[in-house]
Homo-oligomer: A and B are copies of this chain.
Amino acid sequence: MTTILADCKTKMTNLNLKAIDEQLRDAGLKPTRQRIAIADILFRDGHKHVSAEDLHEEVKKSNIHVSLATVYNTLHQFTTAGLLQEVSVDGAKTYFDTNTHEHQHFFLEDTNEVMDLEGISIDKDDIANVPDNMEIVRIDVVVRLREKSSKA
């Protein structure tokens, strides 16, 4: 009964590979080499914010080849499965957040970094003038930061 799991164990740094495996199955996703590698990187440390490109770079460092297209696919599958959340902070790139709880973000304009910001929250009931055939999906708050000295 050799599964891909056993095959991956040597390369993985995550202690609960089993959990990843189950999480993927629960999401209806076959736990493939690539998906396990990606999940391992995403979920082994604390919360992360990655772009597809970022993640692709990180995966390259492991011994498992994953194409950029697969990284994109996987990020979207994980998002649909509720394992990730998309963050819209700045036009160009899409960021994915491993923290799927209600929380907000700092965005560092100098470095294009995204950071979690817990603490503030806006009550949906405080929002006036919501058209009545509409419902609030989510309230996103982005606090844009800049280094104190820099002007541009």
Contact = CB atoms under 8 A, between A and B. Distances in A.
Interface of A: 86, 88-91, 93-94, 106, 108-109, 117, 119-120, 122, 126-131, 133-148
Given A91-B94, A133-B148, A136-B144, 19 more contacts: A86-B91, A88-B91, A109-B137, A117-B129, A120-B122, A134-B145, A134-B146, A134-B147, A135-B146, A135-B147, A135-B148, A136-B145, A137-B145, A137-B146, A138-B144, A139-B141, A140-B143, A141-B141, A141-B142
Q: Which of A86, A117, A140, A147 neighbours the largest number of chain B CB atoms within 10 Å of its CB? A: A140
Contacts of A122: 120, 122, 141
Contacts of A94: 91
A148 B119 contact: no
A95 to B, nearest CB: 9
A104 to B, nearest CB: 9
Contacts of A109: 137
B135 A145 contact: yes
